[in-house]
Structure 1
Amino acid sequence: MIACYTDRYTARPGETVMLHASASHGPCTLRIDRVGRERHTVWTLADIAVGDHPTPPDADRAGCRWPVATGIEIGADWASGYYDVQLTDARGEVAHHFVCVKPAVDAPRARLAIVLTTNTYLAYNWWGGANAYSNVTALMTGQASFDDAMGQAIGVLSTQRPFVPLIVSAPDDIPRLVNMRKRAFQEQPWAADPEWMRDHAFSPYDGSAGFLNKWEHRFVEWAETAGYTLDYFTDYDLEVEEVLSGYAGVLFVGHSEYWGIGERAQVERYVDAGGRIAILSGNTCFWRVRFEDDGATMINHKWRGLEAEPEGSAAPITHLWSLPEIGEPEAALTGLSFLFGGYHRLGLCAARGQGGYTIYNDRHWALEGTDLFYGDVIGDALPLIGYESDGCRFDFGDDGLPRAIPQLGVPANLEIIGVAPCAFGEEADRGYAPVIPPERLAVCARVTYGDDSEASQLRMLRGHAVIASFRRGTGEVFNTGTTEWAHGLAAGDPFIDRITRNVLDRFSA
């Protein structure tokens, strides 16, 4: 076995990050690469003495407590970006971790910043046993059923442990979390690429987070090729440091599902003061989390948030941002919510869905120069809509265009560009084994519609992905409403390329 982790996910040039490791076959060699459009090696170190250390039974919650193997000094010439940390043992086995290098304090800033969705990485990481969703080890080894394993999810997650390989170092051919074709007549529903998943012992959580060969990586490859320079931060940076002031625009890409309290507050201050955020993501800002132990622990009780804290605790609740007890629905910032969207081309969720957006507001500024008109569909061949999507309720005006219904934080001034049907989960008793059963549908119905009646729960299952923008304060928000936008850029789709350039050019001006 070989595995490693760093004492923190982020650092600036000149700072030192500590690498903790365990290896059965030392000594080890360390290599660090900056990963973007290309991969550049910036540092190597050989003959590192690494001991074989046991993994504590509570490593998923309390960390591994392994000793420091070596320090990594971030070079003064290391550009801001994602850095792949690779530790290789004497037999050639490799363990991966990462460090996000922030821009130097005294360095010229880029016009745009990207926030890596490290809270989401952490929520899905099951190294040591469990994650925020399930006791994944018990599930994957057959020791627990899916329902029992979900009941053993943990709400306290340590940052002081490695990541499972398919999250931190996914291969280039990892499948997208979307069914690439429509379900055939009477075909059994499926999700993603079952054969690849079986061959790679892929857990239900491995594809949902991580940088390498996933959403953020694909976006960065496109952005660097297109000539955009980015400064990089992590979710936790926004939690503890005022970093956004001075940037013309800030980007959230892929699957930015978990937001801390300080992060949410900073982004809202930034937008209200004139900042612009581009959300090229789905399921954005859905769950509220908090940090303890100087960032060593993320608290993320999810559905158990109301009862999980010790009696008399003054700690902020971790649950849905839209929960009435929290009262800060994400749509007030993002414009959209997963509660009004859901899944597309996954299981029975829009299994034969169009896979792209139907354009309505063809005069929106984001569509300038795209050659798109009312009724056109974009991204259907990719598909652009899949996995998780955010939306809103809407009706139609006299002009035939959809108008947002201001509910659960959705702003009345939301400008809807396009829509596509989604499903929040699969309806029961439809003749097929469930692949995407809705999670806590009664809770979601109460949050969204004020009651958990059968009618409200059924209403929850029918939603839409929405691409939209709106102004908040003196700032502006653009939201693609889908996790898969970066894959549209990677595929070279000219419509998605031009829309993204329009957004980034406007937001970096």
Structure 2
Amino acid sequence: MSTTARAFRVSAFRVGWYAGRQAALVWSSGTVAGRRQARPALAVPRRTVGAGWEPSLEVAAHGWPEGAYLLRLEADSGHQRYVPLVVRSAGAAGRTLLMHAAATWQAYNDWGGYSLYRGRDHTYEHRSLAVSFDRPYAGSGAEKFLVYERAAVVLAERLGIPLAYTTGLDVHRDPAVLRGATTAVALGHDEYWTPEQRGHVTAARDAGTNLVFLGANTCYRRVRLEPGADGAPRTVVCYKNAFHADPYLARHPGMATTDFRSGPGADPESSLTGVLYEGYPADAPYVVESPGHWVFAGTGVRRGESFPHLVGVEYDRVTPDAPTPSPIEVLAHSPLTCKGRRSYADSAYYTAPGGAGVFATGTMRWVEALMAGTDADGADHGMDARTGAFVTRATENVLAGFAAGPAARHRPAPRDNAGALYGR
């Protein structure tokens, strides 16, 4: 910790469902003396920021239930920040596995003035090419978790289905965490994947593990993880369109840290997710195409019914010209205009030969919509309580249905309508 406050305290909250409360206090520290630590260091030429601070407090998490946590740091002045923490499950056999997107959290983190998107001068040209976990998260400390993940965790816990918890970094390191899982869930913004993570998730699908993609732009960037002194991943490398400047490429020509669909070893994400990321920024109504699908059971929706602002701020669509599983059913087909171009955002469902079902929402606002109309976070993009109720029921249907095992064995087969919708 680095603070100008004289002292601070730490409280650990497990996110979930506790008779209506959405978190439970599991531990708190005593008073810890505050001190201001050294300025962060910038490592060139990849413009990587590291805090390099001395530890202020060690927290023993022995006995904490596996799950998603927020550590609340509270200064004696009243100022607060968060630290997101996942207490990992050793395995997920017979359970729904929530995969938290730590690599994406870090990619957007501009603490110290640099992220994978911009440098201290706010230009893309001077962005980081590699970002380190050895620094705090900017802002509240947990923005990506709070916006794109927390509400899904609460809903899954409220459903009462057996759950397991992990991160994309852990799936990258050890595919065993996926073994026997009924379902693996990528949450609302899970953009940055390693080829290893993607391979392990694909293998799990092929073995019968259902997949849920609750956002858009999932598995879009191909990254490399570099270890710290303890061997655990500490650095996320992604050169993007400057991949040719990465020295690693000389000996690993198929490992360009750019978009999965680009560069050497192109492998569009649609072969896994069923949908292809297309654009940003977007704001459009979500339009139902297949009202009789089991995902929409109990919602009472009709074909053509719409939900304002549910599509955004990034979106995916079924793209028959890209590698796309078949048959695939478009459940929602939402017209939009993005940067002057007319297109569609699609929710889609397909089944794999091994029996797994795969559902993708096609919009990044899906998890945010779970809280629409409640004013819980004060920013719902204009989505109302009706939208919140629809998204909540559909998400419940997916998670509860998939918890019963490979979906092809107990749910209707997808009706291939993509060709009719796109004239191919």
Contact (CA 8 Å) 1:249, 1:508: kept in 2 or not? yes
Render the CA deviation track for 1:2-32: whole Å, top value 9, x for unaligned.
xxxxxxxxxxxxxxxxxxx223334432221
- Cα RMSD (Å) of the superposition? 2.3
In the superposition, the TM-score normalised over structure 2's length comes to: 0.82
The residue number in structure 1 matching 2:348 is 468
Contact (CA 8 Å) 1:81, 1:101: kept in 2 or not? yes
The residue number in structure 1 matching 2:416 is none
Instruction: Find 1:377's aligned residue among 301, 305, 318.
Output: 305
From the superposition, tell whether residues 33 and 335 of structure 1 become closer, same or farther in structure 2 (CA, over 3 Å). same
Does residue 80 of structure 2 align to residue 94 of structure 1? yes
Render the CA deviation track for 1:267-307: whole Å, top value 9, x for unaligned.
00000111101111111111111100231111011121233
Does residue 419 of structure 2 align to residue 419 of structure 1? no
Unaligned runs of 5+ in 2: 373-384, 405-424
From the superposition, tell whether residues 86 and 371 of structure 1 become closer, same or farther in structure 2 (CA, over 3 Å). closer
Cα distance in 2 for partners of 1:260, 1:473 equals: 24
From the superposition, tell whether residues 51 and 121 of structure 1 become closer, same or farther in structure 2 (CA, over 3 Å). same
Counterparts of 1:154-233 in structure 2, within 5 Å, are: 154-166=128-140, 168-170=141-143, 210-212=144-146, 214-233=147-166
From the superposition, tell whether residues 239 and 490 of structure 1 become closer, same or farther in structure 2 (CA, over 3 Å). same
Contact (CA 8 Å) 2:96, 2:185: kept in 1 or not? yes
The residue number in structure 1 matching 2:121 is 138
Render the CA deviation track for 1:138-160: whole Å, top value 9, x for unaligned.
33xxxxxxxxx121111110011
Return 126-135 or 488-497, whichever deviates more: 488-497
Contact (CA 8 Å) 2:93, 2:178: kept in 1 or not? no
The residue number in structure 2 matching 1:33 is 13
Cα distance in 1 for partners of 2:69, 2:290 equals: 40
Cα distance in 1 for partners of 2:263, 2:353 equals: 23
Over 6 Å off, 4+ runs = none
Cα distance in 1 for partners of 2:83, 2:342 equals: 39
Cα distance in 2 for partners of 1:488, 1:311 equals: 41
Q: CA deviation at 1:420?
A: 1.0
Cα distance in 1 for partners of 2:100, 2:79 equals: 27
From the superposition, tell whether residues 310 and 118 of structure 1 become closer, same or farther in structure 2 (CA, over 3 Å). closer
Counterparts of 1:61-460 in structure 2, within 5 Å, are: 61-76=48-63, 78-103=64-89, 111-135=95-119, 137-139=120-122, 149-166=123-140, 168-170=141-143, 210-212=144-146, 214-242=147-175, 243-293=177-227, 294-309=232-247, 312-314=250-252, 316-339=255-278, 342-345=280-283, 353=284, 355-357=285-287, 359-374=288-303, 376-380=304-308, 383-393=309-319, 405=320, 407-423=321-337, 425-427=338-340
Q: CA deviation at 1:104?
A: 5.3
Query: 1:377 corresponds to which letter in structure 2?
Result: E
Does residue 420 of structure 2 align to residue 481 of structure 1? no
Unaligned runs of 5+ in 1: 1-20, 140-148, 171-209, 346-352, 394-404, 428-460
Cα distance in 2 for partners of 1:39, 1:360 equals: 36
Contact (CA 8 Å) 1:28, 1:50: kept in 2 or not? yes
Query: 2:78 corresponds to which letter in structure 1?
Result: G
Q: CA deviation at 1:50?
A: 4.6
Identity across aligned pairs (percent)? 27
Query: 2:131 corresponds to which letter in structure 1?
Result: L
Cα distance in 2 for partners of 1:497, 1:64 equals: 40
SS in 2 for 1:220: helix
Q: CA deviation at 1:63?
A: 1.5
Q: CA deviation at 1:311?
A: 6.9
Query: 1:48 corresponds to which letter in structure 2?
Result: V
Q: CA deviation at 1:110?
A: 6.3
In the superposition, the TM-score normalised over structure 1's length comes to: 0.69
Render the CA deviation track for 1:322-350: whole Å, top value 9, x for unaligned.
115222110000001113x54422xxxxx
Contact (CA 8 Å) 2:261, 2:267: kept in 1 or not? yes
Query: 2:297 corresponds to which letter in structure 1?
Result: E
SS in 1 for 2:77: coil
Cα distance in 1 for partners of 2:249, 2:351 equals: 41
Return 154-163 or 218-227, whichever deviates more: 218-227
The residue number in structure 2 matching 1:206 is none
From the superposition, tell whether residues 361 and 35 of structure 1 become closer, same or farther in structure 2 (CA, over 3 Å). closer
SS in 1 for 2:351: strand
SS in 2 for 1:410: coil
Contact (CA 8 Å) 2:159, 2:400: kept in 1 or not? no
Cα distance in 2 for partners of 1:24, 1:489 equals: 37
Cα distance in 2 for partners of 1:229, 1:91 equals: 41
Query: 1:490 corresponds to which letter in structure 2?
Result: M
Q: CA deviation at 1:310?
A: 5.5
Cα distance in 1 for partners of 2:94, 2:249 equals: 46
From the superposition, tell whether residues 462 and 308 of structure 1 become closer, same or farther in structure 2 (CA, over 3 Å). farther
Cα distance in 1 for partners of 2:151, 2:57 equals: 31
